[in-house]
Amino acid sequence: MRHKTVLITGGNAGIGYETAKELLQRGARVIIACRNINKGLQSLTKLHLETKCKQDSIRLMECDLSSFESVRKFAKLYNAKEDRLDVLICNTGLIYSPNIYTKDGLNSIMQTNYLGHFLLTNLLLDKLKQCRSSRIINVSSSAHKYPPTNKGITALVNFKSDAIWGSYGPSKACQILSSYKLKQDLLDHGVDVFTLNPGWIWTSFQDSLHSALGTWLFVIVYPLLIIAKFIFGKTPLTGARTTVYCAVEPSLKDSYILYFENCARAKPSSLCTNSESAEYLWKLSCEAVGL
């Protein structure tokens, strides 16, 4: 990964942090895009201490994926100031938000997890094409399989839904379905597109559930979570392995594989590999983000 530049959204915490750490240790230059600069700076200091990387090997930039204005501002600055983009890792994921809608009038989960990344990717495509062979990696979830397949694309495209808990699965399905189209579109441009399921990461789920349920109810549910943690939970370090694999594995160059679990090819929901649905989603997404 030496002489390569990697951009990671949400690289200041959880599996994003572990991904950034691993790629720094492999010699990459890592740029972390995050919403909270103060928290980002704390993570930057920690990364320097843990990896002993050079000062210019890591950069922090502000980007709030729940705001199209912020994403456009970030992309404009990145394209103007950065020479390379070899790997784009769309890692930021929101399970719960106290705010149903963003200031753009869209569902906060859908915009943060899917539409914000959709806009960011499109605004950085030219930079990725310049650095062929390059890669786009969307960190999805097994929750993408939850939307009912019998409802087709209509189960995914309600970008203004007032549901918070019910929006996570559709947002992750949209990630994979749009990646399916993007992968086909970029076949001749030297840009590989991958999606993946990192597994159930204990820390992110715990924090989100605490915010959603409140302290008292969370205390009641907590013992069940502890049991589930030991059965299903992964640490951020373990959860980051598939992301790192998709970023660095040489054999994946020009690969036709779209979706990975545990560093191996896996099968996504049939809803996420339908060409007609992908075209429709792409059209609606472009309209939603103003492309």
Q: What is the CATH number of the domain that holds 183?
A: 3.40.50.720
Q: Is the CA virtual torsion 247, 252, 254, 260 positive or negative?
A: negative
Question: 270: cis peptide before it, omega within 30°?
Answer: no
pLDDT per residue over 22-50, tens digit each?
999 999 999 999 999 999 999 999 999 99
Shared-domain flag, residues 210 and 91: no
In this structure, the chain runs to a length of: 291
Shared-domain flag, residues 26 and 39: yes
DSSP string covering 54-114? -GGGEEEEE--TT-HHHHHHHHHHHHHH-S--SEEEE----S--S-SB-TTSSBHHHIIII
Low-confidence winner among 36-40, 123-127, 152-156 (lowest mean pLDDT): 152-156
Number of structural domains in the chain? 2
Shared-domain flag, residues 134 and 220: no
Rounded-to-integer distance, Cα 243 and Cα 227, Å = 26
Shared-domain flag, residues 209 and 177: no
Q: Does the pLDDT of residue 100 top 60, yes or no?
A: yes
For 170-290, list the strands marked E by DSSP: 191-197, 259-261, 264-265
Q: Could you list the residue range(s) of the whole structural domain that residue 58 is in?
A: 5-199+239-289
Percentage of the chain with pLDDT > 90? 66
Rounded-to-integer distance, Cα 193 and Cα 254, Å = 9
Interval 118-122 mean pLDDT:
98
**Average pLDDT across the chain, whole number:** 88
pLDDT per residue over 248-259, tens digit each?
999 999 999 999
Q: What is the pLDDT of residue 233?
A: 61
Which helix (H) or strand (E) element contains residue 31? strand 29-34
Residues designated as active site: 168
pLDDT per residue over 186-211, tens digit each?
999 999 999 999 877 666 555 556 55
Rounded-to-integer distance, Cα 73 and Cα 166, Å = 30
Shared-domain flag, residues 72 and 182: yes
pLDDT per residue over 215-239, tens digit each?
666 566 656 666 666 556 678 788 8
Rounded-to-integer distance, Cα 135 and Cα 6, Å = 9
